[in-house]
Amino acid sequence: MKILSVVETAIYVDDLDAAEDFYQRILGLEVIASEADRHVFFRVGESNVLLAFNPRTTCTGDTLPHHGASGAGHFALGIESTSLDDWRRHLEANSISIETEMEWPAGGKSIYFRDPAGNSVELITPGVWQLPSGW
């Protein structure tokens, strides 16, 4: 009886089309499900799903429990250390401003930028959390 991983992470966005364009075209995530005015879901690697919801729809609930937040959310996506410079160039080439860069005391680096809804997205390299998987 053990929790093995975070499978799904949710963010809330005011414009699902803008979110789909950003996460699919700029970040390269595959869309695996969508429903007009409600959600677009993306597969992330081999183990995770990013859920982008319109909170005006999900806050009322339906067959599933209600949820939905306002304000900037935050999450971190794992990348290889060797790809960080390429990611920085790719984001800048697509007019995505890097808001902050961090080099963590225990190892690993992060770059932070915003999605179109204002959520704080972090790309992070292995080392920070000393996770057994690296990732």
> Which of residues 73 and 116 has its CB atom nearest to a second copy in the complex?
73
Task: Report residue 79 as tokens.
Answer: 């990348």
Task: Report residue 117 as tokens.
Answer: 């809804």
**Is the CB of residue 20 less than 8 Å from the CB of residue 81?**
no
* Residue 40: strand pairing partners: 34, 52
Among 16, 40, 52, 87, binds a second copy (CB under 8 A): 87
Shortest reach from residue 25's CB to a second copy, in Å:
13
CA distance 114 to 45: 21
User: Residue 109 interacts with a second copy (CB under 8 A)?
Assistant: no
CA distance 55 to 13: 7
Binding site for a second copy (CB under 8 A): 1-10, 12, 27-29, 32, 43-51, 53, 55, 58-59, 63-80, 83, 86-87, 90, 99-100, 102, 112, 114, 119-120, 122-124, 128-129, 131-133, 135
